[in-house]
Amino acid sequence: MDKVRYVGIDVSQHWLDVECALARGNVSTARFDNNAAGHRALCAWITKRGTAARVVLEATGVYSFDIALALHRATRIAVMVANPRAIKDFRGALLQRACTDASAATVLRQFAQRMEFVAWTPPRPAVLELRAVARRLEALTAMQTQEKNRLHAASVSADASPLLRGDIEAHLDQLRQRIASLQQQARALVAGDPQLQQAYQHLCTIKGVGALSAAALLAELATLPAGLSARQWVAYAGLDPRPVQSGTSVQGPPHISKMGNVRWRRALFMPALVALRHNEPVQRFGAELRAKGKAELVIIVAVMRKLLHAIYGMLRTGTDFDPAKFRACVPGTGLDA
């Protein structure tokens, strides 16, 4: 019986491409859905016959966190979330030219076999709890907005039933109470964890980032693997540029990829909008882009990217927002949302 299986997993939005090598050299491949059921099936597949497994996946994209957590919690499985730069260098050393989901899984499996294995440490329970509370807050806030819109429509309609308006108002009262309760829980979670509290205070020094925005950002940022660069943070947020080009005849303006954590973009949008109105260095940056003829939404996206770069530096160095350093951040101009 094989003692250890070495497994590489290429993670995409909808599925997991897996390559597994047994100790005696046999290699097998499989594909699983990237959801809870697929994660359970994967864990059972790589530990069949009671075999232990060392699994390597790449820390790219928002879709790798849940599978990493599922693997970490499974028995007889050790998981490593590798830095994308290390995987890129390793692929270059292998002289591999192909770039497909299957070939990526092969590289990750070989990385697990040949390189030093560093087990992934999941975020602290307080971080995971804050993430769950913040995401629930986002869902309830969106529901509250929908109900407010329905109440407005019912209020201006001559045929709207008073019973309907009363029901919507009652639901809005319930939502307000639940939102207030969850906000209190989020504050308690942050206050009870010194690392979260310190990061939260730094975020709140950015003019335009309020208490709710800071909690929403912190809930997502705190779950990121260590060692990522600022550019990789931007990619996680889906704010990286995506060129539009085909041959010589099609060459449209670049757009943001949106291939990342939509919650980051939502949490950054309002702070960027407020900062453009009330934060002096951000106002100057926005004015420069307007002078170049950039559309307003393009300017907001550029500010979101630069704010994310600023937050990266603040949290890495444990410092407050420095307006003088805002212009030194990597620019995010030239993008259409």
pLDDT tens for residues 274-306?
A: 989 988 888 999 999 999 998 898 899 999 999
* Interatomic CA distance for residues 110 and 2, integer angstroms: 17
Is there a single domain that holds both residue 103 and residue 50? yes
Higher pLDDT, 5 or 330: 5
Last residue of a domain, one of 72, 87, 114: 114
Same domain (yes/no): 152, 93:
no
Phi, psi of 129 (to 5 degrees): -65, -40
Q: Give the range among 29-33, 89-93, 198-202, 214-218 with minimum mean pLDDT.
A: 89-93
Q: Residue 104: CA atoms inside 13 Å, Cβ hemisphere, count? A: 17
Residues 236 and 297 grouped into a single domain: yes
The pLDDT, as a whole number, for residue 325 is: 80
Number of domain units in the chain: 3
Residue 332 lies in a domain: no
> How many whole angstroms separate alpha carbon 288 and alpha carbon 283?
9
**How would residue 331 be classed by pLDDT, with cut points 50, 70 and 90?**
very low
Q: Is residue 276 part of a domain?
A: yes
Are 138 and 162 contained in the same domain? yes
Verify that 12 and 109 share a domain, yes or no: yes
Q: How many CB atoms lie within 10 A of CB 208?
A: 20
Strand partners, 148: none
Q: Are residues 11 and 110 both part of a single domain? A: yes
Distance CA 305, CA 328 (A): 13
CA distance 32 to 26: 20
Greater confidence, 1 or 287?
287
**Which of 22-36, 116-130, 220-234 is the most confident on average?**
116-130
pLDDT at 271 over 70: yes
Residue 331 φ/ψ, nearest 5 degrees: -65, 155
Residue 180 lies in a domain: yes
* Domain identity same for 251 and 226: yes
Domain range for 160 is: 125-192
Which of 133, 112, 129, 128 lies closest to 56, judged by CA? Answer: 112
pLDDT in tens, 79-132: 998 877 788 888 888 776 556 657 889 899 999 988 889 898 888 999 999 999
What digits encode the pLDDT tens for the residues 10-19?
998 889 999 9
Of the candidates 192, 210, 243, which is a domain's last residue?
192
Average pLDDT score over residue span 154-162: 83
Looking at the structure, do residues 109 and 129 belong to the same domain, yes or no? Answer: no
Report helix, strand and coil shares of the chain as percent, to nearest 5. 55, 15, 30
Q: Residues, the chain, total?
A: 337
Residue 285 CA, distance from chain mean position? 26
Average per-residue pLDDT for the chain: 85
Is 11 in the same domain as 106?
Answer: yes
The amino acid present at 221, given as its one-letter code, is L
Can you read off the two tokens belonging to residue 121? 């440490």
Residues 131 and 110 in one domain: no
Between CA 118 and CA 121 the distance in angstroms is: 9
pLDDT for 242 equals 60
End position of a domain, from candidates 80, 114, 148 = 114
pLDDT band at residue 62 using 50, 70 and 90 as cut-offs: low
Strands (E), the chain: 4-11, 15-21, 27-33, 52-58, 77-82, 241-246, 250-256
Report how far residue 60's alpha carbon sits from residue 228's, in angstroms, rounded to the nearest whole number. Answer: 9
Residue 186 — pLDDT band, cuts 50, 70, 90?
A: very high
Write down the pLDDT at residue 332: 44
Task: Specify if 237 maps to a domain.
Answer: yes
Tell whether 37 and 132 lie within a shared domain.
no
318 plus 225 within the same structural domain: yes
Q: Residue 259 — very low, low, confident or very high, per pLDDT cuts 50/70/90?
A: low
Please tell me the pTM assigned to this model.
0.72
